[in-house]
Amino acid sequence: MSENTANAETRCGFVAVLGAPNAGKSTLVNALVGSKVSIVTPKAQTTRTIVRGIAIYDQSQVVFLDTPGIFQAKKRIERAMVAAAWSGAGDADVIMLVIDAAKESRSQHLTADNEQIVADVKKSERKAILVLNKVDVCEKANLLDLTARLNALDAFSEIFMVSALTGDGLEQMQEHLTALMPPGPWMFPEDDISDMPLRLLAAEITREKLFLRLRQELPYSCAVEVERWEEKKDGSVRIDQIVFVSRESHRPIILGHGGQNIKAIGASARMELEKLLDISFDLWKIKNHKHGH
């Protein structure tokens, strides 16, 4: 932290970012942080745990908690993900509910997931900030109607219309969040954008590339683990990763003909992490294993 920052009144707080799957939470958090801290794919429930993204606006450090999508969970793993999302809201200074305005504005009724989320927010007796995302692809009349209907629910202290993709509306929201942060010292170093370990970030980026390349072919249950991270004397890094799948039949899908898929996924993940971290990778090796259970 610079001397000027240390002498000024600093603020620091946590913002829990909640919403239904595919509302654009991860894209929004990445845009607010100004760098990629959470993976983004078209597949629902890509975010499985709480990801912390750290932004600095003037003298305020804002820690965004990107949570798993909240939906009507049935399976045990789904219930665990939803519980993780709400746990992030428990101790946060601000609750931010992100709604896909493009989707919701096409109907006179909220989806079941969003109806339940709004009801749960009201039960908490805490006013949330509502973020209507994807307004760049909304009909204006429909958007205004949706805004009026949500405002009438008396669950929100402020409503912002934004596009996380284009950046429209984010500056005004950043200014509002800055004012809401409680006075206090910053909790993270000035140049940190996330508290995620580099090993985990590398695994998450590879998982994102798996989703993006294979789309519907990719089994949802796959996982990526860093087996080896070796920093060389010349500053380069060697990474060995393992992709775990739940069934033997999933292995050839991920490998692709002649290993084309796994090679392309590895190359894409390597390029992205090199760009993010300004690190040269001496070797990036991915193996494909079956889960032991």
- Which pLDDT score, from 0 to 100, does residue 292 have? 46
DSSP symbol at 158:
E
- Which pLDDT score, from 0 to 100, does residue 10 have? 95
- Which pLDDT score, from 0 to 100, does residue 149 have? 95
List beta partners, residue 287: 242
Q: How far apart are CA 21 and CA 71, in angstroms?
A: 7
CATH domain 198-290 topology: GMP Synthetase; Chain A, domain 3 (3.30.300)
pLDDT tens profile 96-124: 999 999 999 999 999 999 999 999 899 88
CATH domain 3-180 topology: Rossmann fold (3.40.50)
pTM of the model: 0.76
- Which pLDDT score, from 0 to 100, does residue 4 have? 41
Helix, strand or coil, per DSSP, at residue 49: coil
Structure token digits, residue 183: 């006075």
The full set of domain ranges for the chain reads: 3-180, 198-290
Low-confidence residues of the chain: pLDDT under 50: 1-7, 292-293
| Closest CA relative to residue 19, chosen from 55, 66, 79 | 66
Dihedral angle of Cα 19, 129, 186, 68, to the nearest 10 degrees: 0
